[in-house]
Structure 1
Amino acid sequence: MQTAVASPIALVSSADSSAKTTKKSHIHPLTSLFAGAVAGGVEATITYPFEYAKTSTQLRSQGGQSSTIQALRSVVATQGLSGIYTGCSALVVGTALKAGVRFLAFDTIKARLVNERGQLSTSAGILAGSIAGAVESVLAVTPTERIKTALIDDGKGAKRFQSTPHAVGILIREQGIAGLYRGLVSTTIKQSATSAVRMGSYNSLKTQYASYVGHAPKTTPETFAIGACAGLITVYATQPFDTIKTRTQSSQGETLFKAVRGVWTDGGVRGFWKGSGPRLGRLLLSGGIVFSVYERILSFF
């Protein structure tokens, strides 16, 4: 009777494969933070016009303007093309910070939830994404979204704010630090839901793609397409949370109950999905951009 002996080459190959899997499933925290921040900053800069249109649509219409196109035309006519970039700097900084925090939190939690093969189940991915969303909401999203939304809302009326720093100064002077955290509850709910759906669906789609074609996405077009699909799912699953969040963070601010009631009064059930078109345009691009840039930076390191 002969005893099968594994060849040295097979043993080395197996060890290399195991090492690669372990290395890939344990991403250094600083790498996650840096890659996420760069990806978020790039995405926010490219897609901001969509964000401006979405936020303008969700805020109460003024002067009889109800459509996104009408609102954008009016802004460009009166303020020039730069008008649709109102609040952009706040969002870019905030998105870079929140994306860095999101990927850092997600990768840290993911490392503790993956199985022995380095794979993350759909339910674990949703849980990791939800926790990451709550963390990013408190540390980054709420104050920067509050400033961006207040700037856009102010631009439609009194125009008290001359710049982002000026807006921050007025909000703090009038409402204290708490003024920058107006809408914390609605923002945290929205971010937890968005991050859970986005990160969970992205990881699930990656796993399904790998099982179908025989390998994980390797090229930028592959990653971009999967990220865009995750963005599509995210928009329609979480849009009501985003609409309510926007109303609570207007220049004057509304309570959660008042925001919900206002959305219902203005548009009924469909009102909760107001702004989904521009947000879809942004998330289709942002999902592809963020995950593509993030994966490329990880592969570089």
Structure 2
Amino acid sequence: MSHDQNTPWTVSLAAGGFAGAVEAGATVRLPHQSIPSSYPKQQQYPFEFAKTRVQLREQKGIPTPRNPFAVVAGVYRNEGLSALYKGCSALVVGSVAKDGIRFLSFDTIKETFKDPETGTLSPARNLAAGMCSGVVASIFAVTPTERMKTALIDDARNERRFTGNVQAVKLVLKEDGFLGLYRGFAGTTLKQAGATAFRMGTYNILKDYERVRDIPQTTLTNFANGSVAGIVTTLATQPFDTIKTRCQSARGATTVEAFRSVIADYGVRGFWKGTTMRLGRTVFSGGILFTTYEWAAAILNPLMRKQV
């Protein structure tokens, strides 16, 4: 994350959205004709699909395997290759919107949180700025797109009422109104607030640490910092992700109902269901996201400032 002062909001939005697009394109692989090339790499979309399936309630008499490869292979065998990509487009669109808004809001909020004397952010203020930007991203992008992604994945294994993204959105709006797109808002917002706080905060804390010690900011260090931030974020926010997934199933559930169902099904350990599958994506995506943002911002900043 760039620490240049007075970064134009257009740079934050454009660089963040572009980074989100690159991250989504690099970590989501669209289906090919054979399963062997589609699922061995953990950063590919089937593992996001598998993570969501594992977090949803098990069908009676059909326990969900813990091994992500077994989940992917079972769905491919029983439902076909296309089933593994249910909700994929919603995830991609959400990634672009989420990261554009998240970087924009973080760059804006961190200016308010900076120490007026030093112009820097303490670790606590870094986390607070990230938390606030996560709430903004949840409201304007993450909750509705995550709701539709999860609903599509859940519907595909049960009722199969959804035939596509547009039809699914129309049906949700018809049955539940506009608020139907915000099922799981509390869990999603808690997850986003925590995830953005840890992701942005960890990345910036590492970057400040390296600057004090004159460690060059290269593509390698940016990628490494982003990957570490991805690990910290995943481990710290997995319970919120699990609750969010239960809330955003095809029929939906309240946050309290989702919490109780996880405890009833698996106990406290159930809140970390899907951690390995999520790590496979977030470690890789974190490195790509921040590396791309730094690169795009470095190109756009001089161009935008010349126009001011």
TM-score w.r.t. the length of structure 1 is: 0.88
Residue type matched to 2:160 in 1?
Answer: K
- Matched ranges for 1:281-300 at <5 A: 281-300=280-299
Deviation at 1:46, TM superposition (A): 2.9
Write the distance in 1 (CA, Å) between the matches of 2:295 and 2:75: 37
- Matched ranges for 1:1-301 at <5 A: 24-47=4-27, 48-62=45-59, 63-67=62-66, 68-115=68-115, 116-212=117-213, 214-217=214-217, 219-301=218-300
Write the distance in 1 (CA, Å) between the matches of 2:129 and 2:216: 20
TM-score w.r.t. the length of structure 2 is: 0.86
Query: CA 1:71–1:61 in structure 2 vs 1: closer, same or farther (change >3 Å)?
Result: farther
Deviation at 1:159, TM superposition (A): 1.3
Deviation at 1:79, TM superposition (A): 4.2
Residue type matched to 2:166 in 1?
Answer: P
Residue pair 1:90, 1:147 contacting (<8 A) in 2 also:
yes
Query: CA 1:78–1:42 in structure 2 vs 1: closer, same or farther (change >3 Å)?
Result: farther
Deviation at 1:155, TM superposition (A): 1.1
Write the distance in 2 (CA, Å) between the matches of 1:209 and 1:55: 36
Write the distance in 1 (CA, Å) between the matches of 2:263 and 2:284: 29
SS at match of 2:281: helix
Write the distance in 1 (CA, Å) between the matches of 2:234 and 2:148: 22
Residue pair 1:207, 1:216 contacting (<8 A) in 2 also:
no
Residue type matched to 2:54 in 1?
Answer: T
Q: Which has the larger radius of gyration?
A: 1
More relative contact order in 1 or in 2 (CA 8 Å, sep 6+)?
2
Unaligned runs of 5+ residues in structure 1 are 1-20
Deviation at 1:211, TM superposition (A): 2.4
Unaligned runs of 5+ residues in structure 2 are 28-44, 301-308
Count of residue pairs brought into register by the alignment? 278
Residue pair 2:227, 2:282 contacting (<8 A) in 1 also:
yes
Ranges of 4+ aligned residues in structure 1 off by more than 3 Å: 78-82, 115-118
Report Cα offsets for 1:242-278 as digits up to 9, x if no partner. Answer: 1101100110111111100111111111100001111
Residue pair 2:46, 2:72 contacting (<8 A) in 1 also:
no
Report Cα offsets for 1:62-95 as digits up to 9, x if no partner. Answer: 3333323332112222444333221111111111
Identity %: 49
Write the distance in 2 (CA, Å) between the matches of 1:82 and 1:26: 45
Bigger mean CA offset, 114-123 vs 291-300: 114-123
Report Cα offsets for 1:20-44 as digits up to 9, x if no partner. Answer: x99x221110111111111112222
Residue pair 2:262, 2:270 contacting (<8 A) in 1 also:
yes
Bigger mean CA offset, 55-64 vs 248-257: 55-64
